[in-house]
Chains A and B, each alone.
Chain A
Amino acid sequence: MHIPDGYLSPQTYIPLFGVYVSAAAVAVKKVRREVSARNIPYLGMAAAFSFIIMMFNLPIPGGTTGHAVGSAVIAIIFGPWAAMLAVSVALIIQALIFGDGGITAIGANCFNMAVFMPFTAFYIFKLFCKNTSGKPQISFAAFISGYLGLVLAAILTAVEFGIQPLIASTPDGKALYCPYDLSIAVPAMAIEHMLLFGIVEGIITAIIVNYFIKTEPTLIYAFRKRVKNE
């Protein structure tokens, strides 16, 4: 899901970069208010975890590869704003040092995996957790949050790929950037993430959320907020 350089037109990556930077500025303010200093080591670990988990490329036999991102579980435990910063750091290091994801596409990649995904996953988790404290329901909510968070982020990425032929083509109909349109990009990205990568993200999310419920239940942001609102 790391868009490389050259696949997005400037008309796409510049606005996305702007949106991302604005979101990150808000995240800095929110994290200042919401996160306590005792959790700082956790945020470092969350960022490192996201970096590492994205290295586990999984194959779809006869197809392509992909991976989980970790945004859903980080959003549930530390909140979507902290997740935004943690996953962004992982994505920016990946782009700068390892060429995984383009430099021009940093805003787009951060928007997809570090802004859209943690927020989507977080609210899906809250939705499915409503009025329940049962362990199976929470595990299910965590799974669905990771699964849908990743699948929807993949579809968003596919839309960014797929609109390129509409935005920028040569007069003789050749693509300037990503050559595949929405009718190819969206099904390709959606199906592979629904079949495998989303399931992996869901399982990871459920396992880690359960681990934190057992070991550090007061830490979990998604539950803390609920208590505060009641």
Chain B
Amino acid sequence: MLSEKGSRMNKIQKKILVILLFLCLITPIGILLPAYFNTGDAWGEWSAQTVNELIGYVPEGLAKYSEVWKAPLPDYNIKKTDRSIVHKSGYYIVSGIIGATITYIVMLLISKLIVRHGE
């Protein structure tokens, strides 16, 4: 039942998938432009270390909570020690494809469980 419902794609949907894949391939713009203009983190998204540099101390709660979760691929990067911007761009693309694919599949499954009526 799950696989039948809404798994056929029309032409426009296929075209959009191709556009999404293309967008994944150009995601490195999202790290190259900030690097070129030498801009910092997004406002309010600093690491505990950066907060220390900004205000001279690390707030207690921030220090406590900032380590609660170790994400498997932090910052859309695969090898943190690799400083080459070309490699980083590659990791960023791979992260984008992994993340977008998981997001797509999860949303598809949730929708299939929720949606009852159609066609």
Taking Cβ atoms with an 8 Å cutoff, the residues of A that contact B are: 1-7, 9, 28, 31-32, 35-53, 55-67, 85-86, 89-90, 93-100, 102-104, 157-158, 161, 168, 170, 174-180, 185, 188-189, 192, 215-216
With A38-B119, A103-B68 known to touch, is A2 a contact of B42 (CB < 8 Å)? yes
Shortest CB distance B73–A (Å): 5
Interface bits B53-96 vs A (CB < 8 Å: 1, else 0):
01101011111111111111111100000000000000010011
CB–CB A99/B6 < 8 A = no
Shortest CB distance B91–A (Å): 11
The total of interchain contacts (Cβ-Cβ below 8 angstroms) comes to 230
- Mostly helix, strand, loop or mixed at chain B's interface? helix
- Chain A residues with CB under 8 Å of B45's CB are 2-4
CA of A61 to CA of B63 in the docked complex: distance in angstroms? 29
CA of A64 to CA of B108 in the docked complex: distance in angstroms? 34
Nearest residue in A to B74 (C-beta to C-beta)?
Answer: A99
Taking Cβ atoms with an 8 Å cutoff, the residues of B that contact A are: 5-7, 9, 12-13, 16-17, 20, 23-24, 27, 29-31, 33-34, 36-37, 39-45, 48, 51, 54-55, 57, 59-76, 92, 95-96, 98-108, 110-112, 114-119
CA of A3 to CA of B105 in the docked complex: distance in angstroms? 25
CB–CB A64/B20 < 8 A = no
Interface centre among A5, A6, A161, A215 (most CB of B within 10 A): A6
Q: State which of A3, A28, A99 has its C-beta within 8 Å of the C-beta of B71.
A: A99
CB–CB A86/B60 < 8 A = no
- Chain B residues with CB under 8 Å of A57's CB are 30-31, 33-34, 42
16 A-B residue pairs with Cβ-Cβ distance under 8 Å, sorted by A, are: A6-B63, A38-B6, A40-B108, A40-B118, A41-B6, A42-B13, A45-B13, A55-B96, A56-B30, A65-B39, A66-B42, A96-B69, A98-B74, A98-B95, A98-B99, A177-B62
